[in-house]
């Protein structure tokens, strides 16, 4: 009989691959008309996503097997490289502007989004720093420097969604490391003040909150995406309209293959299909934390729990947005949404989780 540890690893891998395959199928369905209109090619998105998926899984396999994955210098180098990329993306002529954000570095038909990679780089760097300083006191200002530097660079793009995911994932690691609850209470108060400041700096964010409360107040403006997403989900019923038969993908829901792909899944496969996706995420996340509590070494535990927390929170945020439970924020659905940077980041996290499996000693 297989041990519980082996079952956890198998369930993790199966659910991750299944989610990526579902993503590949619905990227094709959701993006076919968009590709036909904008690129005169109905298969443009699935071809690129197929390449992204193959490369991402290949990188994950290397990360899973390589001894460098558990070496602190690896994560330090990764962190520094991504910080330099975040700086580069803000330089005119290097950073590409899309949908009002200067968040991409373009290489011909492909592009990378540094804000995606910093999420995993920060988790790895923080875990290394905390483990190396055990016994020297929990609270360290250097930890906040590691978090605030990329957060500031991301907000200059601006990209609130990526910044929030990165910060929340980092704070989960600090909580696990033993930072006191009063510290997080203080951060909560500071966060409210920072949120007010962000709204004051960019009034469009207040418009998003208003549209979240009542999207029909501006149905053709700030409330448009939320309303169109609900128009996709609600008619799906129990079994949906059938694969490829979405109505909202015909330019009603902007770029449905990206942040709002879950809406298309619910529209075409109904409550049953959407539930299957949620269950797969639940299996993956349960497996992740099952692996975390069985790792050997505090460093390994921090790495697995941190990577898992990032996937958990990003999934929650995306599904919350497309279902109208949260204000609209540009956040991809892990493993599923179209985009090389998003998919690669998620599989880097998955490869790291599998590296620190039971019996693996932290480096």
- Average pLDDT for runs of 10 along the chain of length 363: 79 96 95 83 88 96 93 94 94 81 80 93 93 69 87 89 90 86 78 70 69 79 86 91 91 88 95 96 94 89 94 94 86 94 96 79 48
pLDDT of 199 reads 67
Helix (H) or strand (E) holding 98: strand 95-98
Residue 2's CB is within 10 A of a number of other CB atoms, namely: 9
Structure tokens belonging to residue 106: 């373009």
pLDDT tens digit sequence for 207-257: 777 777 878 887 777 788 888 999 999 988 999 999 999 999 988 888 899
41: which strand partners?
none
Q: Which two tokens stand for residue 140?
A: 């360290």
Residue 111, pLDDT score: 84
User: Are 165 and 326 within 8 A, CB to CB?
Assistant: no
**Would you state the pLDDT for residue 121?**
96
| Cβ atoms 189, 201 nearer than 8 A | no
The pLDDT, as a whole number, for residue 359 is 46
- For residue 247, count CB atoms less than 10 angstroms from its CB and return exposed for 0-12, middle for 13-18, buried for 19 or more: middle
Q: In the chain, which ranges are continuous DSSP H helix?
A: 4-39, 44-65, 72-88, 114-132, 141-155, 160-177, 181-201, 204-213, 224-233, 261-292, 298-322, 340-355
Token pair for 330 = 């540009």
Residue 95: φ, ψ to 5° = -75, 135
pLDDT of amino acid 251: 80
- Ramachandran bin of 240, using left for φ above 0, alpha for ψ from -120 to 50, beta for the remaining angles: left
pLDDT of residue 322: 93
* Residue 203: per-residue pLDDT: 66
pLDDT at residue 311 in the model: 95
pLDDT at 363: 46
165 vs 69, 84, 329, 331, CA distance in Å? Answer: 22, 20, 11, 9
Dihedral angle computed from the Cα positions of residues 263, 264, 270 and 275, in that order, rounded to the nearest 10 degrees: -60
- Predicted confidence at residue 205, as pLDDT, reads 67
Whether the CB-CB separation of 324 and 230 falls below 8 Å is answered with yes
| Distance between CA atoms of residues 236 and 233, nearest Å | 6
DSSP 362: P
């Amino acid at each position: 009989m297989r041990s519980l540890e082996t079952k956890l690893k198998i369930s993790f891998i199966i659910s991750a691959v299944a989610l990526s395959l579902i993503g590949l199928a619905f990227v094709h369905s959701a993006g076919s008309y968009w590709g036909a209109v904008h690129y005169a090619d109905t298969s443009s998105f699935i071809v690129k996503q197929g390449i992204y998926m193959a490369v991402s899984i290949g990188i994950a396999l290397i990360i899973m097997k390589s001894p460098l994955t558990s070496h602190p210098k690896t994560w330090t180098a990764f962190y520094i490289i991504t910080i330099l990329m975040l700086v580069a993306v803000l330089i005119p002529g290097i950073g590409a502007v899309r949908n009002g954000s200067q968040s991409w570095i373009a290489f011909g038909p492909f592009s990378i989004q540094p804000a995606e990679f910093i999420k995993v780089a920060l988790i790895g760097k923080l875990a290394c720093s905390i483990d190396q300083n055990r016994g020297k006191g929990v609270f360290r200002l250097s930890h906040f420097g590691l978090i605030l530097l990329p957060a500031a660079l991301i907000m200059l793009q601006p990209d609130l969604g990526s910044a929030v995911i990165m910060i929340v994932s980092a704070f989960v690691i600090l909580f696990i490391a033993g930072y006191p609850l009063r510290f997080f209470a203080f951060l909560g108060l500071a966060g409210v003040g920072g949120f007010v400041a962000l709204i004051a700096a960019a009034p469009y964010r207040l418009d998003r909150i208003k549209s979240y409360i009542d999207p029909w107040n501006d149905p053709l403006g700030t409330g448009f995406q939320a309303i169109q997403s609900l128009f996709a989900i609600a008619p799906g019923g129990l079994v949906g309209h059938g694969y490829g038969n979405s109505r909202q993908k015909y330019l009603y829901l902007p770029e449905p293959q990206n942040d709002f792909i879950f809406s298309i899944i619910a529209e075409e496969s109904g409550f049953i299909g959407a539930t299957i996706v949620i269950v797969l995420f639940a299996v993956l996340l349960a497996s992740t934390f099952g692996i975390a509590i069985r790792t050997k070494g505090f460093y390994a535990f921090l790495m697995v729990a941190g990577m898992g927390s990032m996937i958990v929170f990003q999934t929650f945020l995306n599904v919350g947005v497309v279902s109208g439970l949260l204000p609209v924020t540009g956040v991809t659905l892990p493993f599923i949404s179209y985009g090389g940077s998003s998919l690669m980041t998620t599989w880097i996290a998955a490869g790291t989780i599998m590296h620190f499996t039971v019996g693996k000693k932290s480096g």
